[in-house]
Amino acid sequence: MAKAGFICCRSANEQDVAKSFFGLIELEVWEPNDDPREKDAKHRSCRFLSLTMPFDDLTTDENYMLEMTRLRTFLV
């Protein structure tokens, strides 16, 4: 889940919820064979999913641009 850009968003009411850190999409009711990248891609284009290299290999400029895209998504 984390490699796909998701964080856990559990609450007392919903135990099985994850949120895309970059696309801000909430997904719930996970099955063992579910692919979080596939589920996120169905909702909208996500710049994180389009990365062609591991996140840890991004340059400072690439990381900055990714963060600016995330913030625009959050503010819209």
Domains parsed from the chain with CATH numbers: 2-75 (1.10.1170.10)
Q: Is the pLDDT of residue 75 over 80?
A: no
Please give the order of strands across the beta sheet that includes 17-20: 6-8, 17-20, 26-28
The alpha-carbon radius of gyration of the chain (Å, integer) is 13
Give the pLDDT confidence score for residue 65 in this predicted structure.
Answer: 84
pLDDT digits (tens, 9 = 90+) for 6-42: 888 877 777 778 887 777 777 777 777 877 777 666 6
Summary mean pLDDT of the chain: 76
Cβ contact 27:39 at 8 Å: yes
Q: For residue range 42-66, what is the model confidence (pLDDT) as tens digits?
A: 656 666 666 777 778 888 998 888 8
Q: Any residues with CB less than 8 A from the CB of 26 and at least 6 apart, and which? A: 9, 17, 18, 19, 20
